[in-house]
Structure 1
Amino acid sequence: MSSTVAELWALKDGLIVAKQLGINNICIEIDADFIVHLISNPSVANLMLEPLLSDCRNLIKTFPNHIVTHVFREANGCADCLAHMGADLNHDFDVHLLYNPPDVVVDLLAREKVGTAFCNRLIIS
């Protein structure tokens, strides 16, 4: 499976869970700019990804207030930690729901809450 397909499956699963929890306002932050472009531009077609991409687009439309944005990988530290944690889990289950943040992200969430979690990114042109 490619990283693009993995990201889209994760997005789809997350959107389904958010819908089941009755969430109406959602901000989707993705560190893959290509996926943000695909999701945000319905006129862009990709035959290999189309069924999954359509599912994601249609699910996003069901949220009354939604936004899809690109974030740099450095600003996505919690997601990165959780992905590494998920890679180490027993793969007998499809989805693990966490009702409280695991210890590996508690410090990151606290820094994000006070606005010190983000790092500067140097861009040289």
Structure 2
Amino acid sequence: MTKISFASELWGLQKGLRLAKHHDFDRVETETDSLAVVQALSKNAETTVEVDTLINDCKTLMHGFYAFEFKHIFREGNQCTDYFANMGQDSQWATNILRHPPEEIIQMLNRDANGIVVRRFY
């Protein structure tokens, strides 16, 4: 994982945690396909000075919830997240909050909700 994608994962997590706090969620489950991010936040892993503040901010936010679970999941295990990550790469730099899922991911939501994994082909 490059430094840029590692930092991007952390920025996304921080934004998501702040949104959850803003909406008064007290139980949060977070999944990421970045094992490096999980390790950096779960342990006192060695990181670079560029992301230390971001990691500490995420840790502080995580501890502010009544229940918080953070785990690694393969990209294939959460197609919706992968879809939105790819969608974000193709859009302007901004935060987009969607009130309803785009039509094209309804099937993905159903598969994710039922734990159905679809193999990716490259």
Please report the TM-score for the alignment, with normalisation by the length of structure 1. Answer: 0.84
Is 1:7 the counterpart of 2:16? The answer is no
Answer whether contact 2:77 2:112 (CA < 8 A) is retained: no
| Shift >4 Å, 4+ stretches | none
Q: Give the share of equivalent positions with the same residue, in percent.
A: 31
Aligned to 1:44: 45
One-letter amino acid matched to 1:53 = I
The structure that is helix-richer by fraction is: 2
CA RMSD of aligned residues (A): 1.8
Between Structure 1 and Structure 2, how many residues are aligned? 117
3-state SS of paired residue (1:99): coil
Aligned to 1:105: 105
Between stretches 10-19 and 101-110, larger displacement belongs to 101-110
One-letter amino acid matched to 1:44 = A
Aligned to 1:82: 84
Answer whether contact 1:31 1:72 (CA < 8 A) is retained: yes
Alpha-carbon separation, structure 2, partners of 1:70 and 1:90 = 27
Alpha-carbon separation, structure 2, partners of 1:83 and 1:27 = 18
One-letter amino acid matched to 1:99 = R
Is 1:32 the counterpart of 2:34? The answer is yes
Aligned to 1:54: 56
Alpha-carbon separation, structure 2, partners of 1:80 and 1:114 = 17
Answer whether contact 2:38 2:71 (CA < 8 A) is retained: yes
The Cα shift of 1:44 comes to 2.7
Answer whether contact 1:81 1:104 (CA < 8 A) is retained: no
